[in-house]
Structure 1
Amino acid sequence: MKACYTAAALTAALLFFPASAQATCRIFQHRDYGGSGYTLHNFERMKMVRGESLGCTTNGHGGGCESTIYNPSWNDHVSSFRVKNGCTLTLWQHVNQGGARFRSNRSYRYVGDRWNDQASEALCTC
C-alpha cells in the first residue's frame, strides 16, 4: 500500500513539474549544434579546467563541488548551444565567473566570432 502512495506521489510530481524533469542546456563543440555535445541540468556548472587545480575533487566530494563538473577538454571549445524553455545558459570567458559573460535564455546556432571557442565556464539555470 505504501508503494502505491509513493508511486502516486511521484506521478503527481512529474505531472505538476514536467519542465523541471527535462530542463537542460546543451553545449556543442561546433556551430549548428555539431560535433561533441554536453548536457548541463538545472544548477549544474561546468568549469572547463581540472578540478584538482581549484582544490576540488572531480567526483564532487570537495567543498562546494557538488554541482560542479570539471571537464578540461571543453575549455575554449563551445561554438553553439541549445537552451530548453525556462532555462538560461551563462558562459564566462574564464573560470570562477571571470572575464566577459554571455547569458541567454534562447538557443544559438553560433555564438558569434567574439565568443567562438572562448568559454571556460558554463552554468545552466532553469
Structure 2
Amino acid sequence: MIRIVSAALLWLGLSAGPVVAQIACALYEHDNYRGHSLIIGAGQRFSNVGAGWNDKASSVRVGPGCTLTLYQHSNFSGDQRTVTGDTASLGNLWNDQTSSASCQCTRGVDRFCRFYADVNFNGANRGVAENTSLRYVGDAWNDKISSVKVPQGCSLRVYQHRDFGGDSRVFAAGDYAAVGALWNDQASSLQCSCR
C-alpha cells in the first residue's frame, strides 16, 4: 500500500517526508528540506542534474541503506561528497555546488524511470516506479517526452500510442539526454521494468 501511495504522490509531483525515504535520495533547493525537490531513485545516475538544478542543492535526504554521491561538475567530475543520511544543510562549501549525482542502495528501495519534457533533462519531469505500466501517460504528458533516465537493472519501453500500441522503443539503463529525432514527443504509454 505504501508503495502504491508513494508512486501516486510522485506521479502527481508531490513529495512528503515518508515518500522521500521510500524512494532513496532527494535534493532540496533550500536548507531544512525546503523548496523544490529532485528525486533520485535507487541506482539512478544523473550525469547532469539539468539546468533547473545545476548548482542549486542545499539539503538532501538519503533513505536507509542508500548512499548519495554529489559531484561538483557534470559527468561525475570535480570534487565529490558522499552522504549516507538526511542532511539538513550541505554547509558553506557544498551549498549550491552540485552538477551531477548518483544514488546507490543496498536494501530494497523503489527505483524509478524518469522522463522529461525537454532534451538534456530539462523542463517538467515525472518518475514511474519500477515494474509499473502506464496504459496512457495522461493528457499532460501525451506526446511530450524528450529525454529519459533509467536506473541500473531497469529498462523503459515507450510506445507510440495508448494501450501499448504502435511502434515501441526500449531504453536500457542509462541517461538519454535526447530520445532521438524519431521518438521526440511521440510516447503515449510506457513500461518501467526492473529485475
Q: Please give the TM-score of this superposition, normalised by the length of structure 1.
A: 0.65
Q: Which residue of 2 aligns with 1:21?
A: 109
Which ranges of structure 2 fall in alignment gaps of 5 or more residues? 1-63, 66-104
Structure 1 residue 42, shift from structure 2 partner: 1.0
- CA distance in 2 between partners of 1:114 and 1:19 (Å): 38
The AA in structure 1 aligned to 2:165 is G
SS in 2 for 1:96: helix
- CA distance in 1 between partners of 2:131 and 2:181 (Å): 27
Structure 1 residue 124, shift from structure 2 partner: 0.5
Q: Which residue of 2 aligns with 1:89?
A: 156
Structure 1 residue 18, shift from structure 2 partner: 3.3
Structure 1 residue 71, shift from structure 2 partner: 2.1
Matches within 5 A, 1:29-48: 29-48=117-136
Matches within 5 A, 1:1-126: 18=106, 20-48=108-136, 71-105=138-172, 106-126=174-194
Residues 26-62 of structure 1: CA distance to partner in whole angstroms, max 9, x if unpaired? Answer: 01000000100000011212233xxxxxxxxxxxxxx
- CA distance in 2 between partners of 1:19 and 1:114 (Å): 38
Larger relative contact order (Cα-Cα within 8 Å, sequence gap ≥ 6): 1
The AA in structure 1 aligned to 2:140 is S
Q: Which residue of 2 aligns with 1:10?
A: none
SS in 1 for 2:185: coil
Which ranges of structure 1 fall in alignment gaps of 5 or more residues? 1-13, 49-69
For the aligned residue pairs, the C-alpha RMSD in angstroms reads 1.8
The AA in structure 1 aligned to 2:171 is S
The AA in structure 2 aligned to 1:34 is N
Q: Which residue of 1 aligns with 2:101?
A: none
SS in 1 for 2:120: helix
Structure 1 residue 22, shift from structure 2 partner: 4.0
Bigger share in helix? 1
Structure 1 residue 122, shift from structure 2 partner: 1.2
Q: How many residues align?
A: 91
> Identity across aligned pairs (percent)?
30
- CA distance in 2 between partners of 1:20 and 1:103 (Å): 24
Note if contact 1:47-1:72 (Cα within 8 Å) is conserved in structure 2.
no
Q: Please give the TM-score of this superposition, normalised by the length of structure 2.
A: 0.43
